[in-house]
Structure 1
Amino acid sequence: MARTTPTAPPKLGLRERKKIQTRQAIRRAAYRLFEEQGYDATPVDQIAEAADVSPSTVFRYFPTKEDIVLTDEYDPLIVEQLRARPLDEPPVTSLRHAIVGLIRQYAEDARGEMLIRLTLIRQVPALRGRMSEGLTQTGDMLGEVLAERSGRATDDLDVRVVVAAVLGALQEAVFHCFDRGRIEDMEKDIDYALEVLARGLTL
């Protein structure tokens, strides 16, 4: 029997919620300092002090300063959404519904933070370099689920191509909105970009 999409985001345990709260506190402190004195002029120890945590705690949650800007809590939630899609659904369609569904749930809360993140990524070369590493990790995570659902190996070329195409389309849609000052249209543009992939890249 095909599985159906959940109507609510996965519930997190108390420990995971506390971790998310700590990460968010560190991010908020970092964004405030970045705005006041610039990214390069803000050391991690200042971020830790502003967030009322130790520098070691910052590094436990974010291995590098770049990761404060680039990482979020959404990858595991996308995986849960993806696993809940019908098994007979085409992989790009499953990824499209999983990603867009999650964006719809968190769009209002995440839009302001996304604008800050994208502005910093456009301004700071080190962030753009680190971003590619983060996308690789996200791709590995999604590839594992697609391989699991399709019965293929995780290094199967078809799996890798699908994941790379989806992440590339996602990135292009996000920056398309940002560069045109239309961050409020992000959900719509991401949905459209993934629809282009799902229908076979026709023009």
Structure 2
Amino acid sequence: MTNEKTADFFTSYRKISEMWEKGLNDFLFKAVDNKELIGLTKVGVDAHSRYVERLKRNHELIASYWNLPTKKDVANVAELTIQAEEKVDMLEQQIWSMQDAFAATFQEQQTLIQNVMEFNQQMHNELIKTAKGLSADVKKLGNEITEAADLKNIEEMREELAGMKEDLEEMKNLLKQAKVQPELAGSST
């Protein structure tokens, strides 16, 4: 039962609202259609706009004498503030992107430096290995040269000994001849 009363109330309220809306629309349409009212409204609006313009000029004049901000000044300041905030936001974004770029570049540099250090370490290790190998080769060559020099010295000594042997043989032969000749010289006397 209460649902029916509520529904009836809203239905009747809607009908009354529609009637009022239609009546007001008709009244406004007739009022706007009146040429005298339009002309009178135009004169009133023109007078009012001149009055408002004069008030604005006087207000700006008084504000300039007393150094007070006007609505226009406040609007300009608000606009400049908004522009400044937008520029600050843009700068912040640029700074963030630059920081990200710097971080990425720094990371790349660190990686590059690490790679260069590893390469240098490898080169150093290879240089040490090569130096040790060359040192061993130099020692071998030195030993071989020493052995070759020793062999040469031995060969020279052998030649000298051979020469001395020949000299000794000659001396022996000369001594034998010298012994044989005095015997020959003694037997012939």
Compute the TM-score of the two structures, normalised by the length of structure 1: 0.15
Higher relative contact order (CA 8 A, sep 6+): 1
Structure holding more helix per residue: 2
Compute the TM-score of the two structures, normalised by the length of structure 2: 0.16
Larger radius of gyration: 2
